[in-house]
Amino acid sequence: MTDIAERPFVSPLSGWRGTPGAASLSEVHASVKVGRGSWIRRFVAFFGPGYLVAVGYMDPGNWATSLAGGSQFGYTLMAVVALSSLMAILLQALCVRLGVAAGRDLAQACRDAFPKWVSYPLWVLAEAAICATDLAEVIGTAIGLNLVFGIPLEIGVVITALDVFLVLMLQRVGFRWVEAFVIGLLLVIAACFAVQLAMADPDLGAIIRGLAPTTELVTNPAMLYIALGIVGATVMPHNLYLHSSVVQTRAYERTPEGKREAIRFAVTDSTIALCFAFLINASILILAAAAFHASGRTEVAELGEAHTLLGPLLGGAIAATAFGVALLCCGLNSTVTATLAGQVVMEGFLRIRLAPWLRRLITRMIAIIPAIAVTLLYGQSGTGKLLVLSQVVLSLQLPFAVIPLVWFTASRSKMGDLVAPRWMSVVAGLVAAVIVALNVKLVWDFATGG
């Protein structure tokens, strides 16, 4: 009997140009059993993938953009964090629907829906997004190692290449262990920020007022640049590919009712996880606003500088230590998910399967080269700007993942009876339009010297 993880999937839906071939992440496909007991027991079986996705919403690049936004503009960009989180919840729900209903991850769907002259450029853009993500993780993890253990940045950057063995070890013992590792580190991160916020004593009224959008977002190019960085760091392209794949690790019944239940439970899981991610993201910006903006330090964007200043400003070394530990945990977590996303993208678009360690090392080497160059030339002073730039690059890549996702899930010929509700497709279309418009405005300001 052929194992389900290796069996080619043939879709009964007529809207695709071909079949997806081998299952997405075939080595762990349908490897997590879904019981037949109570709904709580079945929901618990779907608990996990949402937190793998949530990691991408609080990676080191997100830290840099939120620190820059909070220190420069106080609580004003809270509205951007909240709106981008709502965008993320909607788009990840569409990823779940695509993965379950069509039996394809987003990379496979692009390959099977578009001719090669379209799908190959989309693959290149997806790889560029993953390299930008990896760049942020390299720098963030290296800074975390420096802050916690005193390891020089240049050596820390090289050490990050070894994280491939961590990912391989976790996948080998079972996908549930990957999820447990990620969730465990997330709990450490949450505890660290709880300590720092308690010491910072932020202005609750200003936080609430910051949740109301302001027209300055469009009229102030500097604010728009940081806002787009926050959007790029929150709604990350590689997460759209990853989520549509990892949801298929559950062995749910491949019947219409089984798929509906899988979508319902998986969307609930991701929504809860992304609400948690919003709290972490908001905490970073609130901490920067309370500790730096309020004291007149409006140019803090470097992670190392933030760590150095937190102790004196908040009156205790524990705040700086918690900051370093949380940053290191974020870097390690993001490493796991970026590895999986890179595998999904390459296998889905090209049907080329590399050994996971080789795929990981190739991606990491591409990220390490600019990280080492900037570290050697500018030290920590250049890492913050490079982190923010990497997140803006991610934002510019977003439309090329979001638009296909919205189109696929709105097509009945591709999704069958599990096509996305009309209201969901309309709102997702508006989200895509907003992202495109903001990107056009950013490029225009750059081209005209704004």
Mean pLDDT of 386-413: 83
Q: Residue 95 in contact with residue 312, Cβ under 8 Å? A: no
Mean pLDDT of 254-280: 92
pLDDT at 380: 59
**Neighbouring residues of 402: CB distance < 8 A, sequence distance ≥ 6:** 91, 235, 240, 428, 431, 432, 435
Q: pLDDT category, 446, cuts 50, 70, 90?
A: low
Highest mean pLDDT out of 31-35, 120-124, 159-163: 120-124
Which residue, 293, 357, 263, is CA-closest to 46?
263
What percent of the chain has pLDDT above 90?
20
What confidence tens digit (pLDDT) does each residue in 350-393 have? 887 777 667 667 766 766 676 677 666 656 556 666 666 776 77
What confidence tens digit (pLDDT) does each residue in 415-437 have? 989 999 999 999 999 988 887 87
Q: Which two tokens stand for residue 1?
A: 């009997």
Tell me, which fold does domain 38-447 have in CATH?
Amino acid/polyamine transporter I (1.20.1740)
Q: Distance between CA 374 and CA 283 in Å, rounded?
A: 28
Q: Residue 32 in contact with residue 12, Cβ under 8 Å? A: no
User: Of residues 355 and 275, which shows the higher confidence score?
Assistant: 275
What confidence tens digit (pLDDT) does each residue in 53-89 have? 888 777 776 777 788 888 888 899 999 889 888 988 9
Listed by start position, the domains of the chain span 38-447
What confidence tens digit (pLDDT) does each residue in 320-351 have? 778 788 878 877 777 777 778 888 888 889 88
Q: Is 250 left (phi over 0), alpha (psi -120 to 50) or beta?
A: beta
Q: Distance between CA 124 and CA 298 in Å, rounded?
A: 37
